[in-house]
Chains A and B, each alone.
Chain A
């Protein structure tokens, strides 16, 4: 008896973050830390050594009052695809401790294989990678509140946002048990997406036209996945990192702050990619 097997088309999980909706409340950061067992120290005043997979940057238009405008920009790992999975960090890791998944488009980090050379941190222009300078120590009793689905990281390794990959694994198992061929959109959402009170973050499969994120972004594969939405842009798009986190804003100065431009260049202009 001939059994025909069909494979699901590859997914490309990504995000659309509406900066016009973001209030900078930081709920996404808190949710992320809680969900992913992110360690913290008693004194977190030095932000250069603290870990926050999701960081919120504060942008200003540089104008004096009353024309001052503020924008908050949440920055998770951008899960860059680069050119054919050649993301800045994945290609440099000497021990294959970070990988680009062709199945999901998620850039993973294998903590038990990472030996802490930090080359990936140097390669990432978004500073989305963090080093565990200390062993994780939680206040007494708090270890009971840790998520059993996410392994805590040891001192001396690099970590970063995983798009809550453990949630994908759980959703995939559930879909399998329910005899579903694909993971439903609502079944796999990141913690930051769910925590955002303004609904500024939309998460899903960029390859799936049924998913909201696809409908918002409308990625154009012929132009390196650049968005067809005039409000959308990606961080440092012209470097060729090909990230899967898209930002939306109606304000031109915000869109311009997403990339480097020469004085005469128009916002959104992307010249030849150099690799």
Chain B
């Protein structure tokens, strides 16, 4: 039915299978949309947030997807600016993932604010001293950049590409993509950083507060660094999942290993920086405010020292070693384990810098505040995941996301001949075979 839209030289699943998958994920999406509408029309009383937990699950999800979407800007930087040309085989997918992550982040922010219709105030009445203002501006600008990077990919669809204007537009946009990649890297540096700054500037919250360089707390640099380090892990993990789902090899190992190796070194340097930051914070900053590390990791039912171990050692040191070591990196099982740990690690870091900050009491006579999300919060957090899966499904089916797919999965002559014979007798099967 949709053969004419499917890229040449590749196979796709039958239409019924595609629609079935789309329907299942669509149902989850509808559930999320329902919860989102409840929040918009009835207000944030639909959540379990409270006056102690002004920031909760959504803001964590927001920060996490932005960090995980960091693979887009870092891969772009490596390919277009540093000149790692092999990465052209994965950059499309990195851009698509980035586009999904950033559009999701903007959607989450739109649900999270108490007065969604006033969301534009952040631009109109901008407070230049607020890290959140910087986040809003850079996030919006970078999302525009990602859209510009995604458009040529859409225009490469078989049918759209037949239109001369679209063909030339796509070609010319590819030609100048280095400019957008550089712009994206610049903007990402600031919005990833300012997201770190959101927590780091809270001098009323010793758990979050960090000293820094000029107006930027150390978390500013750590967030940018960690997004660049762990973002590619997410891109590669999703590539692996896509390969498993489609039962095809989509990207050559040398491309995966190159990005994995760079990610490994980035994670290692980030982890060293994180250890330095934590050490200084625990020994100088926190005691200077009259507190000790035990104040943040004991006296409650959930937040313990295990978090430090999981974040820094298990999800920092371990994946760094795996990805740096050639034998381990070349072993798919170890490699995927490292990607998985990396994704967990950066997500946990964002959790700590948002939710644990809210949980820790500051006044000596105050107590820990623990929180669990309502189903509406969970549903609206899953909503972007469903949206992402749908966008990946559609993009994978109709756009040349993986340039190496045709080469890695050649349609054999015999099979092609068989298809032709079948097509002659039963024309209805043509889309499925194509």
Interface set of A (CB-CB < 8 Å, partner B): 46, 48-49, 51, 57, 59, 73, 82, 86, 88, 91-97, 113-119, 121-127, 129-135, 154-158, 235-236, 238-241, 256-262, 265, 271-272, 274-275
Contact = CB atoms under 8 A, between A and B. Distances in A.
Interface string B29-53: 0000000000000011100011111
Contacts of A135: 43
Interface stretch (B178-186, B200-208, B234-242): B200-208
Contacts of A117: 112-114, 122, 132
Given A126-B363, A155-B43, A92 B288 contact: no
A243 B201 CA distance: 18
Most buried by A among B49, B118, B211: B118
Nearest to A78: B204
Contacts of B49: 118, 131, 133
30 contacts: A49-B50, A82-B203, A86-B129, A91-B130, A91-B201, A92-B130, A95-B121, A116-B113, A118-B54, A124-B204, A125-B362, A126-B204, A126-B363, A129-B54, A131-B51, A131-B114, A132-B114, A133-B50, A135-B43, A155-B43, A236-B204, A238-B289, A239-B362, A240-B203, A257-B364, A260-B290, A262-B290, A271-B290, A274-B203, A275-B203
Contacts of A122: 54-55, 202, 205, 357-358
Interface in B165-221: 198, 201-206, 209, 211
A95 B127 contact: yes
Contacts of B44: 116, 131, 133, 156
Interface in B273-308: 285, 287-292, 295
Contact of A115 (B119, B285, B362, B364): B119
B115 A114 contact: yes
Contacts of A93: 127, 130
A96 B51 contact: no
Main secondary structure of the interface of A (DSSP, over half): loop
B203 A119 contact: no
Contact of A125 (B112, B122, B295, B363): B363
6 tightest A-B CB contacts, nearest first: A116-B114, A156-B114, A260-B290, A118-B54, A121-B54, A48-B50
Main secondary structure of the interface of B (DSSP, over half): loop
Interface of B: 43-45, 49-55, 112-116, 118-119, 121-122, 124-127, 129-133, 136, 198, 201-206, 209, 211, 285, 287-292, 295, 357-358, 362-366, 369
Contact of B290 (A94, A116, A154, A259): A259
Most buried by B among A49, A122, A261: A122
Contact of A118 (B114, B126, B127, B206): B114
Nearest to A117: B113
B122 A260 contact: no
Contacts of B211: 274
Contacts of A156: 43-44, 113-115
Given A88-B202, A238-B289, A259-B290, A94 B126 contact: yes
A196 B179 CA distance: 65
Most buried by A among B54, B130, B204, B357: B204
B114 A115 contact: yes
Contacts of A154: 115
A114 B127 CA distance: 12
B127 A94 contact: yes
Nearest to B133: A94
Contact of B55 (A118, A157, A240, A260): A118
Nearest to A254: B365
A124 B112 CA distance: 19
A107 to B, nearest CB: 13
Contacts of B204: 88, 123-126, 236, 239, 241
A119 B132 contact: yes
A117 B130 CA distance: 12
A57 B51 contact: no
Given A49-B51, A115-B114, A132-B114, 15 more contacts: A48-B50, A48-B53, A88-B202, A115-B115, A117-B132, A118-B114, A119-B55, A122-B202, A129-B54, A133-B45, A135-B43, A156-B114, A235-B363, A239-B203, A260-B362
A115 B121 contact: yes
Contacts of A257: 364-365
A254 to B, nearest CB: 10
B148 to A, nearest CB: 25
B114 A155 contact: yes
A57 B365 contact: yes
Given A116-B114, A260-B291, A262-B287, A96 B55 contact: no
B12 to A, nearest CB: 43
A49 B126 CA distance: 28
Contact of A241 (B45, B53, B131, B203): B203
B289 A92 contact: no
Nearest to A156: B114
Nearest to B199: A122
A241 B289 CA distance: 12
Contacts of B55: 118-119, 122
Contacts of B112: 117
Contact of A272 (B53, B118, B209, B288): B288
Given A134-B43, A134-B45, A113 B130 contact: no
Given A115-B115, A238-B290, A130 B43 contact: no
B202 A94 contact: no
A124 B55 CA distance: 12
Contacts of A126: 204, 362-363
